[in-house]
Structure 1
Amino acid sequence: MFFVGVNAGPGKSLLAAVMLTGVILLGVVMTFWVSRLLSATILKGVPSSFTLELPPYRRPRVGQVIARSVLDRTLFVLGRAVAVAAPAGLVIWLCANVQVGGVSVLAHCTGFLDPFARLLGLDGVILMAFILGFPANEIVIPIIIMSYLSTGTLLELDDLGALHELLVRNGWTWLTAVCTMLFSLMHWPCSTTCMTIGKETKSMKWTLLSFAIPTGIGMVVCFLVASGARILQLV
């Protein structure tokens, strides 16, 4: 919306694909860099090994495969998601609809976070949306829209032109878009991922580190980009 436009076209589609590829490559580069950094610091001297035990080959039984996949994978993951999503949905609804002094709790929270978020090239609404979106990252944009429109319920705008107009009306610039993309790329993993990390590692330390490291890196990168743009007077 901010770099390609809101109207589809061959040239714009190509530019959008190039931008998306660039974001993905940046994520790959950051992954290798962080892995190297961890290997030289907190993981230094820790042996790295991976063992995969292959069971004896048997002719697959379709019914059993489907049943076990549903029970062991689909329902298990959905169960963990619901366990977090249901309370989170209640929290989001309460924040948007409960008022204190004539102002919603969500507005109070976004106002409190706004000065810090501005340092990262964001605003309080965007940062609060990422926090409330911890159960599922895909609800971040609907929360942003809900906060800007003060609707009290999650919703999406199918028209990119209307969404672009709403964001610009609430102070978004190209820098806001860039920092939102960067923070979305690098911030904390969602709740289900954190629960899986905790289950697999059986370590609170590694679960917290898996949350803190990308969050810290995302904040530093956004701060450097925002500061650089302001120093160079690009916004």
Structure 2
Amino acid sequence: MIKSFTAERMQVQVFTSRKAMGDAAGKAVEAKILELLAQQAEIRIIFAAAPSQNEVLDYLRQSTRIPWNKITAFHMDEYIGLPSEAPQLFANFLKTHLFDRVNFKSVHLIAGNKDLDAECKRYAALISEKPIDIVCLGIGENGHIAFNDPPVANFNDPEIIKVVDLDHACRQQQVNDGCFAALDEVPKKALTLTIPTLMQGNHLFCVVPGKSKREAVAKTIHQEISTLCPATILKNHSHCSLFLDIESFGEIY
């Protein structure tokens, strides 16, 4: 680690490389899992799905200390309208990187190709059964958390999960990340957990590598809390850690 500081209530740590960042975040999540399981029988975790999460997911998958059979997993968003076998689906991404690789107690996937009202009710009920202990998330190039882009972000959203229109910057990021070959292939709508749902997680671990995220990171750290950059709300959380690499931090250290 080359730098550590706080931005309001949020803890920020900067690392020399993506791997160092991912390993540190993975160790922090692992330690929190073990700490919580010393106090309670099981825990519930929400995971983000994106290439930015590869390093932390790699660490968690390879951990020999985590008793996955005591963990219930969720994910935070999903495209609407893609076929169930599409590799771009976040459910499939997480199956590949984690969900099918370790023995969870249970995994609850969002279905973006079913009746959307019914799916929102089903997933909201699952999320609401018990508190969410840990949220592993990232920040988008437009400052979104999950698919709460600036035009649809609501810090007081009454919904737990909702249908949203994806803004241009969000859809372009999916092309930039190599998930889609062209912008017109990226779905225009998605299901997302809302900002209050994410903020109700007891412990947030936010992992944001890469030069393309530098502007969003700077806004998150330095700008006032506003839906113009939804990730700024993370500064209000009492247990949120932001993990960066040199490229995403970008400031002189």
TM-score above 0.5: no
Q: Which has the higher contact order (CA 8 A, sep 6+)?
A: 2
Q: TM-score w.r.t. structure 1 length?
A: 0.24
Structure with higher Rg: it is 1
Q: TM-score w.r.t. structure 2 length?
A: 0.23
Q: Which has the higher helix share?
A: 1
Q: Which has the higher strand share?
A: 2
